[in-house]
Chains A and B, each alone.
Chain A
Amino acid sequence: MDVLQLGSYTFSSRLILGTGKFSNATIMLQAVRASGAQLVTVALRRFNREQAEDDLFGPLSAIEGITLMPNTSGASTAAEAIRAAHIARELSGSPFIKVEIHPNPQHLMPDPIETYEASRILAKEGFLVMPYITADPVLAKRLEEVGCVSVMPLGSAIGSGQGVATAAMIDIIIRESGIPVIVDAGLRSPSEAAHAMEMGCGAVLVNSAVAAAGNPPEMAEAFAEAVAAGRKAFKAGLMQKSGSAIATSPLTAFLGANG
């Protein structure tokens, strides 16, 4: 069976869904169910007694077959991310952690040095580390070497919907990688997710594209279908590109042939 292997865990779904930015929790939960995602990201936030309904742990845990992947969003240093990871593991009971360290709220680009350091330490502590990174093949390889179970290069800036602008770099990362490469951030349409999967990505992580869609549950389903189609196409093997035309029909001139 074709499964996504992350550490000792296997998943049949190759769509990872984020839970941020949905208009309400009911729609978010409908989208999670419609997506068929088995790995779902959540963020840590301070408890607020006036907004107790914001707590997603209970409702998400009630969906069968879901593993939580907390992120370290809000951390701007390795030390903060490590602290967040420890707290998140306490709450989730899940060994997965998405290391996400972006110190600049203007562009939300991940800090490669702090991300590397946090990932190295957390992997050593036994976490299944999934670092969110810029599409840098050297960094990706270094993160694999320190024991990350995947690398998650950005397609484009978080929430920008600019698609896989980093395709050429992601292609190199995939070629060099011994662990699944997951495009995280920037996707807008299911066709972009299919493209990422056709390139050989192990999975895609989508949040804004579903949360900000006109109909989030429908969009979640569309992404699930696109991811499955893209994966199937990758497994089937795409044809070679050619610089010139290669006919699919016989070109023997019989209509104009002299009788």
Chain B
Amino acid sequence: MSQMITIGLNGQQQLLPTGSAVSDLLSIIGSDGKSVAVVVNEQIIRPEKRPAHLLQEGDQVELLIFAGGG
């Protein structure tokens, strides 16, 4: 069994296989990633950087979308 890491995902703990990239995280949670902004430790990760950006133990990830607002 592969090793796991724990990250913070929108304020909650999430287990991921070691070596997961941001794009892997998006597939795991069922997002196509097109309309989601990804922020890792306060840094915006653009779509083209997501396959290469590996997540580390303790990373704080925020996934944001557009919802209704005035």
A41 within 8 A of B: yes
B1 within 8 A of A: no
Secondary structure call for the B interface = loop
Is the CB–CB distance between A43 and B66 below 8 Å? yes
Is the CB–CB distance between B44 and A44 below 8 Å? no
The contact of B70 among A19, A46, A48, A57, by CB within 8 Å, is: A19
The contact of A45 among B39, B65, B70, by CB within 8 Å, is: B65
With an 8 Å Cβ cutoff, the count of chain B residues facing the other chain is 22
A residues apposed to B, CB below 8 Å: 18-22, 25, 28, 41-49, 52, 54-58, 60, 68, 70-71, 73, 83, 86-88, 90-92, 158, 185, 205, 207-208
Is the CB–CB distance between A43 and B68 below 8 Å? yes
Is the CB–CB distance between B70 and A52 below 8 Å? no
Contacts across chains A and B counted by CB atoms under 8 Å: 103
Is the CB–CB distance between A18 and B70 below 8 Å? yes
* B-side contacts of A205, CB under 8 Å: 70
The contact of A58 among B35, B42, B68, by CB within 8 Å, is: B35
A45–B34 alpha-carbon span in the complex (Å): 15
Given contacts A58-B35, A87-B44, A90-B37, contact A20 B70 (CB under 8 A): yes
> With A18-B69, A54-B67, A86-B44 given, can you name 8 additional A-B contacts, CB distance below 8 Å?
A43-B68, A46-B63, A47-B36, A49-B30, A54-B68, A57-B66, A83-B42, A92-B66
A43–B30 alpha-carbon span in the complex (Å): 22
